[in-house]
Structure 1
C-alpha cells in the first residue's frame, strides 16, 4: 500500500466533508421550532466538525507513522460521514419544502413519524461514532510526537496503556452499537408508515441505518489498526528498558538501533 496515495486520499476528503457538515449545520440552525432531536443532531454535527478539524491537523509524517491501512480506513470512515450528510440534507430539503420568507419551518413537527425519527437518530449516532473514531485517530497520531521525546519508560508505558484501554473500550462499544443497529434495521423493514410520512421517508431512513451499520464496521477496522499500532509501541517500550522511541517509515514490523540503545518502532498497521 502506497503511504503517499493513502495520505493524499484522507487529506483530500476531509475538507469537502467539513464543508458538508457546516452547510447542514446552517440549514438546521435556520429551522424554526425544531424538535429536540434536531437540536441534538446539530450539536453532534458541531462535534463531528471539531473531530474532522483535528484530523485535518495531522501531519504527513504522523499519517505515515500510523500506517497505510489505518489511513485508508480513516478515509473510508470520513467518506461515509460525508455521504450520510449529503443524504440527510436531501431528506431535510424534502421535509422543509414548505419554508417561507427565507426561514425554514418544521410543518410536520407534530407528525414526526417512525421513519423520520429513525433517520434523525441514526444520523446522530453515526456522527457520534465518527467523532469517537476520528478523535482517536488524531490522539494516537499525536503520540508520534510524544514518543519522540526523551521520557522515562514508565511514563511512556503509562501513556500507551491509557490509549490501549480507550481503544479497547471503543471496540467494545462499536460491537454493541452494531448489534443494536442490526436490530433497528430489521425493525424498520417491518414498520408501517405513520401519518404524514411517505415511501421516500421509509427508503431514506432504511438507507441511513444501513449506512450507520456500514460506518460502524469501518470504525472497527480503524480501531483494530490503532490497537495493533499501540501494542507494537508497548512491546518496544518494554524491550527498550527506558530508551528513547522514534518512528520508522515502514508499514509493519520494527527496527532496532545498533549499540545506541535507541529503538525505532513502527507505529503502523500490519499487512
Structure 2
C-alpha cells in the first residue's frame, strides 16, 4: 500500500508541475500580440493537453490501478513538463529583440526559416503525451467499471471490444509516427558546409528533440500494448504479449483447436518468438501435428490465438 501511495503522490506531483508549465507557456504565447501563426497555433495543443493532465491528476489520487501509475505514464508527463519548459526558454531566445506588442522582423524571419521543424517536433511531443494519457485513462475507467460489476455481460463485451479497436488504431498511428520520425532523422543534415554558430546550435537542438520525440513515441506504443493486453485479458482471460515470427518461422499462441470448456482457461503468455527457420507454440493446443507448422516454400506465417 505504501508503494502505491508513493507512486500516486509521484504522479500527482509531476502532473501538477506539467499543468503549470503548460499554463505558463500558453500565457506567454497569448501575451505576444503579433506572434506568427506557427507560434500561436501551439496554444491549440497546449489547451488540448491541459485537461488530460488534470484528469490524470484526479485519477491518480482515486485510482490505484497499475496502468495509471505506470512508468510510461510518468515518463510521458515528465517529458511534457520538460518539453514545455524547454520551449519556453527557446521562445524567449527567439524573441529576445522583440516586445510583447511587436515582434522584431528578424525574429519572425528566424522562426519562419529555421525553427519550423523544432516547432513541429514540440507539438508532436505534446500529442504523444495527450494520447498516452487518453489511452491510459480510458482503459483504466473501463476496467474499473467492469470489475466493479456496473455492466451486464453483453455491455461489458461490447465496451471491451470497442476499446481494443480504439487501441489498435492508436498503435497503427504510433507506428506511422515512428516511420515519420525515422525519416526526419535520416533527412537531418549532418552539418552545413559552412555552418554559422547559430545554425549549428539549432541543428543540435533539433536532433536532441527528435530523439526525445522518438522516446515519447516508444513510450506511447508501450502503454498502448499494455492497455490492449489488459483489455484482452479482461474479455478473454488471456494475456498475450510480443508474439513474433521472423524469416521462415511460424508462431502460435493462445487457443488452437480448442472449443467449449477449454476456452475458459485463463492464460498469461508473455513473449513467444520464432527465429530463423524455427517455430514456437504456447498456450492450449490440441490435435496439432507440429510438423505441419514448418512453412513451405519459404513463406512466413504469423498466427495469434
Q: Which runs of 5+ in 2 are unaligned?
A: 239-265, 272-305
Check conservation: 2:72, 2:219, Cα contact below 8 A.
yes
Q: CA deviation at 1:216?
A: 0.5
Between 1 and 2, higher relative CO (CA 8 Å, sep ≥ 6) is seen in: 1
Q: Is the aligned partner of 1:14 residue 2:15?
A: yes
The TM-score with structure 2 as length reference comes to 0.70
Check the 8 A contact 2:12/2:61 in 1, yes or no.
no
Shift in Å, 1:67: 7.0
CA positional deviation for 1:13? 0.8
Q: How many residues align?
A: 237
RMSD over aligned Cα atoms: 2.8
1:105 match: secondary structure = coil
In the TM superposition, what are the counterparts of 1:206-225 in structure 2 within 5 Å? 206-225=207-226
1:162 alignment partner in structure 2 = 162
**More helix per residue: 1 or 2?**
1
User: 1:184 aligned to 2:184?
Assistant: yes
Report what 2:250 is aligned to: none
Q: Name 2:90's counterpart in structure 1.
A: 91
Q: Which runs of 5+ in 1 are unaligned?
A: 238-264
Larger Rg: 2
Aligned to 2:254: none
Shift of 1:113: 4.9
TM-score (structure 1 length as normaliser) = 0.78
Asked if the contact 2:14–2:74 (Cα under 8 Å) also holds between the matched residues in 1, the reply is yes
For 1:146, the equivalent position in structure 2 comes to 145
Q: Does the CA-based 8 Å contact 2:139-2:227 persist in structure 1? A: yes
How much does 1:106 deviate?
5.5
Partners of 1:65 and 1:144 within 8 A in 2? no
Q: What is the alpha-carbon distance in structure 1 between the residues aligned to residue 19 and residue 64 of structure 2?
A: 19
Describe the SS at the equivalent of 1:32: coil
Greater fraction of residues in strand: 2
Following the alignment from structure 2 to structure 1, what is the Cα–Cα distance between the partners of residues 51 and 150?
A: 30
Any idea what the Cα deviations from partners look like across 1:176-197, whole Å, max 9, x if unmatched? 1011112112222346499995
With over 3 angstroms needed to count, the CA separation of the structure-2 counterparts of 1:9 and 1:189, relative to structure 1, is farther
CA apart distance, 1:105: 2.4
